[in-house]
Structure 1
Amino acid sequence: MLLRLLVARLGNSDDAEDALQDMWLRIDQLADRPVAQPKAFLYRVAANLATDRRIAGGRRGARDAAWLDSQPDADELPDAERALIASDQLRTVAAAVEAMPERMRIALHRFRIEGRSQRTIAEELGISVSGVEKLLQRAYRQIHDRLEATGVEVASPYRLSDERGTNRAG
């Protein structure tokens, strides 16, 4: 009777048999306690166990679906060629940054990597905000020119978005 109850609640006999095994293991731990109505107690334990399994199964399904939704599609994963090209481009950019004068490199690092404002950078370097903008524009130009020299297509050259969100030509 308990197996039929669990099959009805869980939808298949395999899950019902697993639940019945779990039920007997739980009841075995309670063997030393007296039970007033053993038949009702067994049905209540089986019903509660089936409910717990259905809830856990729903959560597991939602978690798995969320995980699958967050995974990139196969065409979004880089193939070996794209990974090598990206690696070459990164080395080119790193070389361009290393070749920059120290103040330009500092301004670029603090603005793009550390996320500091141009005003803060200007105060640190002892120059005007306009001076920081010019350093950044020259830095972008050097990176652009170095990438272009290696045959990389670079969109929108010499553009710098200032802190007000407007674009300025360099």
Structure 2
Amino acid sequence: MQIYQESRGELLRFLTARVGDRAEAEDLLHDLWLRIQSADAGPIANGRSYLYRAAQNLVLDRARARQRRLVRETAWSGHGDDHAEPADPRADIEALIAAREDAAALAAAMAKLPEKAGQVFRLHKIDGLPHAEIAARLGISRSGVEKHIATAMTHLRRALDGGTA
């Protein structure tokens, strides 16, 4: 116990560095205190090493418990099974409706793009053509391609952020 009291601050820093959260590290430090309180008093060759090993074991135990809980909760909720129905199908429907609304808003905004900017944007973002190929196909410079894409992106951001393009 004396070594624990002397090393408490160092042990707290050690545990905080391992778990990344001071409150959790303090919980682990308390668990360590409980463990050494209930341990059989026997000869220990190096008390500091024993404390640090016990602290590291507590960190590993907590990580394993967290992983088991995650696996259990994933299996329980059905997310681990690709064929399972969601717990609340309305959540998927709401996400689908929101995605459709977003796609419709994007399509409407793209329809309002200036002609050349819209053409360049579609060739690059939808057809996947590189800037050099678009430039050659349209007879403009690569810099021109980049400017048209920048114009299109500015218009789309304004339109999708609630403004008008």
What's the TM-score bracket when you normalise by the shorter of the two chains? Answer: 0.3 to 0.5
Structure number with larger C-alpha Rg: 1
* TM-score calculated relative to the size of structure 1: 0.42
Where is the helix percentage greater, Structure 1 or Structure 2? 2
